[in-house]
Amino acid sequence: MAVIETHNLERTYQDGNQVIRAVDGIDLQIQEGEFTAIVGPSGSGKTTLLNLIGGLDKPTSGEVIIAGTPIHELSDNAMIDFRLKHIGFVFQAYNLIPVLTAAENVEFIMLLQKKSKEERRQRSHQLLEAVGLGDRLTKRPGELSGGQQQRVFIARSLAQQADLYLMDEPFVGVDAATEESILKLLTEMRQEGKTVIIVHHDLQTAYEYFDWIVLLNTRLVAAGPKDDVFTSNLLQEAYGGRLTVLSRIGVLIAKKDFPLRESDFKEKEGQGDG
């Protein structure tokens, strides 16, 4: 069943006289209980699409329907309520509350949900343990490294126990061992029927851990089961122009073994991501 649908979704930005099309004509269906990775080159609209799906941004035209609700028709207050009930976020722009400890930051979301003190404490300790911060429970964000703060974000978002998680490059600044333990945590969530949509740079782990791939280049290049999407033709369409690298990836895909990150073939133009 499709838990999320987008219809002809478009978001443009006005930059002086120029119209920047961030995403255009996106018709998408995300299946309930599936793990979906959004991949595409830098500037291809991944963050914009995730913001639109999460109701953090409004489309210029088109609509997003989550579990039957056209979310952009909700009032601002109803949207906040909808998000708190249904959607967990791991976004880089989100901040921890500086005066609260790591454990309190994780518990905060459960406080909003009126969970008991004991449940909050248990769950926050369990989650911080799972992301490798069991010995940092009482540290404040200022006393944690960037990667550790990112792990607290992830623990906080998992504490919400939403049905749907939206994550924008959650592993940036997180070491490989922690990334793996978090991916394992996500795998457990899959068994609980959660839906996860992640913007993820690493094509290899995208292939390894996710079932569905959305391949984006302002327009939707392809969406579907990973083996249908990870073909050299479609990747070439999305990453257009970077032919040498793509033919390399094509070969690697054929071997079902492609230890490459997008950053390995990003043009050195200083274009930041996210």
Applying CB under 6 A, the residues found at the interface with ligand ADP are: 13, 15, 20, 22, 40, 42-48, 273-274
Q: How many residues bind Mg ion (CB under 5 A)?
A: 3
Q: Does 274 bind Mg ion (CB under 5 A)?
A: yes
Q: Which is nearer to ligand ADP, 43 or 250 (CB)?
A: 43
Element (H, E) at 180: helix 176-191
Least Å distance between CB 66 and Mg ion? 21
Task: Find the binding residues for Mg ion in span 16-75 (CB under 5 A).
Answer: 46-47
Least Å distance between CB 242 and ligand ADP? 15
What backbone phi and psi angles, to 5 degrees, belong to 233? -60, -50
Are the C-beta atoms of 106 and 157 separated by less than 8 Å? no
Name which of ligand ADP, Mg ion, none residue 44 binds, using a CB cut-off of 5 to 8 Å depending on partner kind.
Answer: ligand ADP
Q: Which is nearer to Mg ion, 12 or 181 (CB)?
A: 12
Name which of Mg ion, ligand ADP, none residue 86 binds, using a CB cut-off of 5 to 8 Å depending on partner kind.
Answer: none
**What is the separation of C-alpha 146 from the centre of its chain, rounded to a whole number of angstroms?**
18
Name which of Mg ion, ligand ADP, none residue 13 binds, using a CB cut-off of 5 to 8 Å depending on partner kind.
Answer: ligand ADP
Least Å distance between CB 199 and ligand ADP? 7
Least Å distance between CB 9 and ligand ADP? 12
Least Å distance between CB 226 and Mg ion? 21
Element (H, E) at 196: strand 195-199
The percent helix, strand, coil of the chain (3-state, each to 5) is 40, 25, 30
Element (H, E) at 85: helix 76-86
The DSSP secondary structure of 125-163, one letter per residue, reads HHHHHHTT-TT-TT--GGGS-HHHHHHHHHHHHHHT--S
Q: Round to whole Å and give the CA distance between 176 and 154.
A: 15
Q: Which residues lie near Mg ion (CB under 5 A)?
A: 46-47, 274
